[in-house]
Amino acid sequence: MIPDLGKYAVTVLSAYGASIVLLIGLVLISLRAGRKARRALEAVETRREIKDEA
């Protein structure tokens, strides 16, 4: 399945490995921070609504 990369196999695979790890890491960190921010805002807004009703 993997093409014959010859004597440069380690070079090519390490470049792909490092880049894919960095890209996936960036996406995951962004999604996690986004979810956390959304939850924090919802919590504050809910607290505010409860106080306003009371």
Partner 1 sequence: MASIWEYANPVKFLRTSEKVLPVLWVLAGACLVIGLIWGFFFTPDDYRQGSTVKIIYLHVPAALMAINAWLMMLVASLIWLVRRHHVSALAAKAAAPVGVTMTLIALVTGAIWGQPMWGTWWAWDPRLTSFLILFLFYLGYMALWAAIEDPDSAADLTSVLCLVGSVFAVLSRYAVLFWNQGLHQGASLSLDKEENVADVFYLPLLVCIAGFVLLFLALVLYRTGTEIRLRRTQALIRREAARA
Site string for partner 1, 23-42 (x = CB under 8 A): x-xxx-xxx-xx--xx-xx-
Q: Which is nearer to partner 1, 7 or 53 (CB)?
A: 7
> Would you say 5 and 13 are in contact if contact means Cβ atoms under 8 Å apart?
yes
DSSP designation for 7: G
Measured over the CA atoms of residue 25, residue 30, residue 33 and residue 39, the dihedral's sign is: negative
Q: Which residues bind to partner 1, rule: CB under 8 A?
A: 3-9, 11-12, 14-16, 18-19, 22-23, 25-27, 29-31, 33-34, 37-38, 40-41, 44-45, 47-48
